[in-house]
Structure 1
Amino acid sequence: MLVFGETGIPIIVFPSTLGRYYTPKDLGFIHSLQELINSNKIKVYCPDSIVNQTWLNFNISPEERIQNHLAYEQTIIKDVIEFAKYDTENEKVILCGYEFGAYYSLNLAFKYPDLVKGIYAFCGIYDMKQFILGHYDDEAYYNNPLDYIPNLNDPWYLDQIKDMSITIVTGNFDNHLDESKRISQILNQKKIGHTFAYIEGLGKNWDKAREVFQFYVSNL
């Protein structure tokens, strides 16, 4: 994990699909937030991703993919989120990322809303059924946002989720555009306030992605 800054609001930046912990830095995403980092407004944490061992590992069974994902999720909670909270003396964190990074951000936030104050989800992938080839059980359901969020009615979850700052961003070159639209529709149906943005050109290259990332995260 890479860490940038001394103190401030803890922001966890997940890598994009098949990215690594250094990918946000290499693509200039961290540099785009340098002013906020230098002024101690934010502290940024960049954990690794193991999506090639979870949802995208077609050499193991769907059940194993989900179990590996759950193990990764617990590692993020215990070793990244809890550490960032302690390190910055904040009660909650902000999660953000592109593609699978957006999935991690949104899924973690909705499953553990007591840990998260806001998310920025860019060009997210939210339908995990496309990666588990017909397999479906409770653990698949509870990690598939398009399925479990519509049925989420527990006030303990909903009240905290409604207190979050939620930003969903997509664009015309986003291969999963319809999934972002569907998430926004579900949030509207649940009366969960959020920002939904459709950006022309987003999803085509990393220059545009970095520009959009900087615009939204810099205005937290």
Structure 2
Amino acid sequence: MQERYIKYYSHHLGADNEMLIFGNWGYPVVVFPTTMRRYYEAKDYRLIESARGHIEGGKVKIYCPDSIDQHSWYASHLPPSERIQNHIYYDQYLNDELIPAIMRECNTTKVAVAGCSFGGFHAANFAFRHPDKVSHLFTMGSAFDIRTFMSGYYDDRVYFNNPPDYLPNANDPHLWQMNIALGTCNADFCKPETERLSKILAEKKINHWLDVRWHGTHDWDIWREMFPEYLNRI
């Protein structure tokens, strides 16, 4: 299984970003790390290993970028207005720099996005904000309401980065074309949030799979089982 490391400068972030890429060819899947973790987390916790067959078979090519959670949602040392603005820079980096580069490299017009835990928020928020660039969304053990990170602060920037708030009013036709799997398990503390997002999608008649078959907790053992199953949807 080919593994490639790259480090590159982001104009939107004003800093370098690092990424691991797995596979020679295949449909691009962007996997976001969990809370304040790094680009190598999916490899270290064997999520990539769980998808080895898909990668070596040339079905998918997996991209694992860094997040900037320590400067945005989890930057408790910063005022809330700066936290949300830093996330907006991250979203601009994804939308204007990273995702277009991946689409060019893979010769596709869209990508799949995925994430476990808080990585699932990043995947879902990007997918719902930019559905013209996303064909598949896979979340595993995730929650999606970020108002708890804002210390009571709220403005339009928070609204448009909080899926439970903006999604009910979203009307981009690409949303109805997306292949969505929302995975959770019986003892996951994020299960109610996943079910809440599913209800919003159902009310909008956006086709999706609320996958609640799993028995376990909020843990990598479950996510390693979910991930290759969801990749089968590509």
- Residue 172 of structure 1: CA displacement? 2.5
Paired letter, 2:141 = C
Give the aligned length.
216
Q: Does 1:7 align with 2:7?
A: no
Q: Superposition pairs for residues 100-115 of structure 1, below 5 Å?
A: 100-115=118-133
Partner secondary structure for residue 215 of structure 1: helix
Take 1:202 and 1:13, find their aligned partners in 2: how far apart are those partners?
22
Paired letter, 2:29 = I
Q: Percentage identity across aligned positions?
A: 38
Q: Superposition pairs for residues 1-220 of structure 1, below 5 Å?
A: 1-152=19-170, 154=171, 157=172, 159-220=173-234
Take 1:22 and 1:173, find their aligned partners in 2: how far apart are those partners?
27
TM-score by length of 1: 0.93
Partner secondary structure for residue 47 of structure 2: coil
Paired letter, 1:180 = T
Paired letter, 2:217 = G
Which protein has the bigger strand share? 2
Take 2:154 and 2:188, find their aligned partners in 1: how far apart are those partners?
26
Which protein has the bigger helix share? 1
Is 2:141–2:218's contact at 8 Å kept on the other side of the alignment?
no
Take 2:165 and 2:46, find their aligned partners in 1: how far apart are those partners?
34
TM-score by length of 2: 0.88
Is 1:202–1:209's contact at 8 Å kept on the other side of the alignment?
no
Paired letter, 1:101 = G
Stretches (4+) displaced over 4 A: none
Paired letter, 1:162 = W
